[in-house]
A and B are shown apart, each in its own frame.
Chain A
Amino acid sequence: MPALVSKSLRDHRRSLIRWTIGIGAFFTLYLSFYPNISQNQELYGEAALKKFPGAMRDLMGGLEGFTTGVGYLHGVVYQLFGPMLFVVCAAVLGNQAIARPEESGTLELTVTLPIDRRRLVAERFAALALGLLGVAVATFLLAWGLSAAVGTGVAVDRILAAHTGVFLLGLFFGALSLAVGAAAGRRGPAMAVVGVVAVGGYIVETMGRNVDAVSWLRWVSPFHYYLDGRPLYQGFPVGDYVVLAGAAVVLLVVAILAFDRRDIGV
Chain B
Amino acid sequence: MTAVVRTEGLTKFYGRRRGLEDLDLEIRPGEVFGYLGPNGAGKTTTIRLLLDVIRPTRGRMSVLGSDPRDPAVRGRIGYLPGELALEGREKAGEYLAFLAGVRGGVSRDRIAALAERLEADLSVPMGKLSKGNKQKVGLIQAFMHEPEFLILDEPTGGLDPLVQHEFLAMVREVRAAGRTVLMSSHVLAEVEDVADRVGIVRQGRLVAVEDVAALREKAVRRVEFHFDAPVPREEFEDLPGVRDLRVEGANLSCTIDGRPDALIKAAARFTVVHLVSAEPDLEEIFLTYYSEENEEEARHARAGVQEPA
Interface residues, chain A, with chain B CB atoms under 8 Å away: 3-4, 7, 10-11, 14, 104-106, 108-109, 111-116, 261-266
Contact = CB atoms under 8 A, between A and B. Distances in A.
B222 to A, nearest CB: 43
B98 A7 contact: yes
A233 B53 CA distance: 51
Which 8 residue pairs across A and B have the least CB separation, nearest first? A105-B85, A114-B75, A263-B54, A114-B71, A106-B85, A112-B51, A114-B74, A116-B71
B52 interface: yes
Contact of B71 (A10, A104, A115): A115
Interface in B49-84: 51-55, 71-75, 77, 79, 81, 83-84
B88 interface: yes
- Judged by DSSP, the binding face of A is loop
B10 interface: no
Given A106-B85, A113-B99, A115-B102, A266 B90 contact: no
A46 B88 CA distance: 52
B103 interface: yes
A105 B84 CA distance: 7
Interface in B90-122: 90, 98-99, 101-104
- Judged by DSSP, the binding face of B is loop
Interface centre among A3, A11, A112 (most CB of B within 10 A): A112
Interface centre among B79, B88, B98, B103 (most CB of A within 10 A): B98
Contact of A105 (B14, B55, B74, B83): B83
Contacts of A263: 14, 53-55
A113 B53 contact: no
Contacts of A4: 102
A120 to B, nearest CB: 9
B190 to A, nearest CB: 22
B150 interface: no
Given A108-B81, A113-B103, A266 B14 contact: yes
Interface in B6-40: 14
A114 B72 contact: yes
Contacts of A261: 55
A104 B127 CA distance: 12
A67 B99 CA distance: 56
Interface string B223-258: 000000000000000000000000000000000000
A265 B52 CA distance: 12
A104 B85 contact: yes
B198 interface: no
A113 B54 CA distance: 14
Contacts of A109: 79, 81, 84-85, 99, 141
A113 B100 CA distance: 10
Nearest to B50: A112
Nearest to A109: B81
B4 interface: no
Contacts of A105: 81, 83-85
B98 A111 contact: no
Nearest to B51: A112
B79 A114 contact: no
13 contacts: A3-B98, A3-B101, A105-B84, A105-B85, A112-B51, A112-B52, A112-B53, A113-B99, A114-B103, A115-B102, A263-B53, A263-B55, A264-B54
A11 B14 contact: no
B86 interface: yes
Nearest to A116: B71
Nearest to B12: A263
A129 to B, nearest CB: 20
Contacts of B141: 109
Interface in B246-293: none
Given A7-B98, A116-B71, A266-B14, A111 B87 contact: no
A191 B162 CA distance: 46
A264 B53 contact: yes
A112 B79 contact: yes
Nearest to B72: A114
A104 B98 contact: no
A266 B45 CA distance: 10
Contacts of B79: 109, 112
Contacts of B51: 111-112
A113 B102 contact: yes
Contact of A108 (B14, B85, B99): B85
A53 B172 CA distance: 79
A104 B87 contact: yes
A114 B51 CA distance: 10
Contacts of A116: 71
